[in-house]
């Protein structure tokens, strides 16, 4: 069997998979402040908890793939010319040093080639060493030797196995977003939900905002690979099984929302959405077929930890100096004179280069100032245009108010009442009271389904105390963009 160990801020989760069938699963709550945002603060405590779980559930300790939610990471798609295999590692490290802003000596790097054409393309992943070392110490304390350590968003993409999809994992301590295009995870993003007084509705809106930004980033960087409006948004995680959360997310996004269903046999009593990421960790790998166009990225972060650093090649300058010194010792004095002349020439050239660099710096500063002035002028012009448009909107005919107001009132469910309806040229704001969250969500869904408005968003849902003979319910506020 293959064993998945998924660690979050508050819980351990284990899944045992045999082929395409789930054989065992278990979870265990862990104390607070043992893990925080992808960093294991108490490896010994967590290791002992993992050991207890494996002993209690009699789970095998081999073929283990581990992951840690909220783990920080950076990644790049790097293209190289076709190279001999022995030259690939050095070429990737050189390219990564230019592409990744973090010092490479602080990261464990792993990479994998992607299917391509004339150029070779590599998916390169970097994870902070201190986070990986803390996890390795934890697994040692648990008496486990993992076969691999994998990034959870890549496991989610494998569980989806789609050529085109947006995968979203909603857990209480982290949200993962993966955009799959052309069978390859092209964008990976992880955020932490708001804590404190934040409501589930607040975090759903934050997730929707991050989804909008992430998809806009992808479509801006890949103009030839735009996301189709029918691209499915696949949900997994502890919160995915909650109907209210799924309904709220569907209102906030334009993509069709459905649950992520990994291609495995599962017992009926298993809460599949909560275990989808863990199942993805140990699914059999695939390189893509006509029936399953997803191209698997199977990266073991531990490979970077075990990679031995290569000795830097001997500097050509030092080699030349050694040759010159040998010749000088041998008595070839003319070469020594030639070397001295070359050094003097190089010094003069360096002085000239410094002068040119200073002139370039001054020119750059002047160009920056000119660009700033152009930006200020453009901002002033944009503000003037905005004011003109606002004035035109105020002076323009205000038709359509009656029809929109009729549609808002006619769509109200029987178990809901208005408190107020505010309408202007751009937005309608409706406040009211309903017997339940589901009724308010149904009202917003009906308004959106009418197709008469540019957007419908639930701005607020609060518990409401009973009034007179009316039962307790909820108050709501819905913003409608005209």
**Cα gap 186→282, rounded to integer Å:** 21
More confident residue, 451 or 469: 451
Which single residue is written with the structure tokens 């280069």? 353
Helix (H, G, I), strand (E, B) or coil at 257: strand
What are the distances in angstroms from CA 481 to CA 394, 404, 438, 451, 475? 17, 11, 22, 11, 20
**Cα gap 340→334, rounded to integer Å:** 10
With pLDDT > 70 as the criterion, what percentage of the chain qualifies?
78
User: What residues does 35 pair with on adjacent strands?
Assistant: 40
pLDDT digits (tens, 9 = 90+) for 54-79: 999 999 998 999 999 989 999 999 99
User: What residues does 221 pair with on adjacent strands?
Assistant: none
For position 154, what pLDDT does the model report?
Answer: 95
pLDDT digits (tens, 9 = 90+) for 215-225: 988 888 877 76
One DSSP character per residue, 52-98 reads HHHHHHT---SSEEEEETT---EEEEEEE----HHHHHHHHHHHHHH
With a CB cutoff of 8 Å and minimum separation 6, the contacts of 177 are 153, 166, 167, 168, 187, 188, 189, 190, 191, 210, 211, 214
With pLDDT > 90 as the criterion, what percentage of the chain qualifies?
43
pLDDT digits (tens, 9 = 90+) for 242-256: 778 788 888 889 899
Token pair listed for 421:
């309806």
Task: Please state which of the ranges 150-159, 256-265, 411-420 shows the lowest mean pLDDT.
Answer: 411-420
> Quick check: 395 pLDDT over 50?
no
**Cα gap 94→109, rounded to integer Å:** 12
The 3-state secondary structure of 341-390, one letter per residue: HHHHHHHHHHHHHHHHHHHHHHHHHHHHHHHHHHHHHHHHHHHHHHHHHH
For position 334, what pLDDT does the model report?
Answer: 56
**Cα gap 28→51, rounded to integer Å:** 11
> Quick check: 445 pLDDT over 80?
yes
Residue 349 binned pLDDT confidence (cut-offs 50, 70, 90): low
Helix (H, G, I), strand (E, B) or coil at 434: strand
Number of separate helices (H) and strands (E) present in the chain:
12, 19
Token pair listed for 426:
């751009």
pLDDT digits (tens, 9 = 90+) for 380-390: 666 656 666 64
State the average pLDDT over residues 416-421: 86
What are the distances in angstroms from CA 199 to CA 40, 172, 212, 288, 460? 27, 12, 20, 40, 10
> Quick check: 333 pLDDT over 60?
no
> Do 110 and 78 contact (CB within 8 A), yes or no?
no
> Quick check: 378 pLDDT over 50?
yes
Question: Taking the CA of residue 119 as centre, how many other CA atoms within 13 Å lie in the half-sphere pointing to its CB?
Answer: 7
The pTM of the full predicted model, rounded to 2 decimals, is 0.64
> Do 244 and 441 contact (CB within 8 A), yes or no?
yes
For position 8, what pLDDT does the model report?
Answer: 93
Most confident of 113-117, 185-189, 201-205, 237-241: 185-189
> Rounded to 5, what percent of the chain is helix, strand, coil?
40, 25, 30
**Cα gap 316→338, rounded to integer Å:** 18
> Quick check: 40 pLDDT over 90?
yes
Most confident of 194-208, 260-274, 339-353: 260-274
Token pair listed for 333:
């004095």
Mean pLDDT over all residues of the chain?
A: 82
Residue 476 binned pLDDT confidence (cut-offs 50, 70, 90): confident
Backbone dihedral angles phi then psi of residue 333, each to the nearest 5 degrees: -65, -35
Residue 426: left (phi > 0), alpha (psi -120 to 50), or beta? alpha
Angle at 196 between CA 190 and CA 199, to 5 degrees: 75
């Amino acid at each position: 069997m293959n064993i998945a160990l998924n660690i979050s801020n508050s819980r351990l989760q284990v899944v045992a998979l045999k082929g395409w069938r789930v054989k065992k699963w278990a979870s265990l709550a862990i104390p607070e402040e043992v893990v925080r945002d992808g960093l294991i603060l108490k490896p010994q405590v967590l290791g002992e908890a993992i050991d207890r779980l494996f002993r209690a559930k009699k789970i095998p300790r081999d073929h283990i793939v581990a992951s840690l939610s909220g783990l920080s990471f950076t990644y790049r798609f790097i293209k190289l010319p076709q190279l001999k295999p022995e030259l690939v590692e050095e070429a990737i490290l050189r390219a990564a040093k230019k592409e990744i802003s973090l010092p490479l000596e602080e990261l464990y790097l792993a990479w994998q080639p992607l299917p391509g054409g004339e150029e070779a393309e590599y998916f390169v992943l970097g994870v902070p060493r201190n986070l990986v070392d803390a996890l390795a110490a934890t697994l040692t304390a648990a008496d486990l030797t993992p076969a691999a350590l994998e990034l959870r968003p890549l496991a989610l993409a494998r569980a989806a196995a789609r050529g085109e999809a947006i995968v979203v994992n909603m857990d209480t301590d982290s949200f993962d977003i993966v955009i799959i295009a052309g069978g390859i995870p092209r964008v990976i993003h992880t955020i932490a939900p708001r804590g404190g007084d934040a409501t589930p509705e607040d975090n759903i809106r934050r997730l929707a905002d991050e989804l909008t930004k992430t998809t806009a980033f992808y479509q801006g960087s890949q103009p030839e690979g735009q996301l189709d409006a029918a691209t499915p948004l696949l949900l997994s995680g502890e919160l995915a099984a909650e109907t209210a959360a799924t309904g709220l997310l569907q209102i906030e996004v334009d993509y069709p929302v459905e649950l992520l269903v990994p291609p495995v046999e599962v017992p009926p009593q298993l809460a599949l959405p909560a275990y989808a990421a863990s199942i993805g960790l140990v699914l059999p790998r695939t390189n893509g077929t006509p029936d399953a166009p997803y191209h698997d990225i199977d990266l073991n972060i531990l490979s970077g930890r075990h990679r031995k650093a290569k000795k830097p090649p001997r500097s050509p300058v030092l080699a030349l100096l050694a040759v010159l010194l040998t010749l000088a010792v041998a008595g070839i004095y003319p070469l020594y004179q030639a070397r001295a002349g070359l050094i003097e020439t190089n010094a003069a050239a360096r002085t000239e280069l410094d002068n040119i660099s200073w002139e370039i710096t001054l020119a750059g500063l002047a160009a920056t100032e000119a660009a700033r002035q152009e930006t200020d002028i453009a901002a002033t012009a944009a503000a003037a245009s905005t004011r003109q448009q606002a004035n035109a909107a105020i002076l323009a005919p205000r038709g359509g108010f009656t029809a929109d107001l009729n549609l808002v009132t006619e769509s109200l469910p029987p178990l809901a009442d208005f408190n107020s309806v505010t309408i202007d040229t751009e937005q309608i704001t409706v406040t009211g009271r309903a017997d339940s969250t589901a009724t308010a969500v149904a009202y917003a869904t009906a308004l959106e389904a009418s197709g008469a408005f540019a957007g419908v968003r639930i701005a607020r849902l609060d518990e409401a105390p009973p009034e007179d003979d009316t039962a307790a319910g909820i108050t709501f506020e819905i913003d409608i963009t005209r």
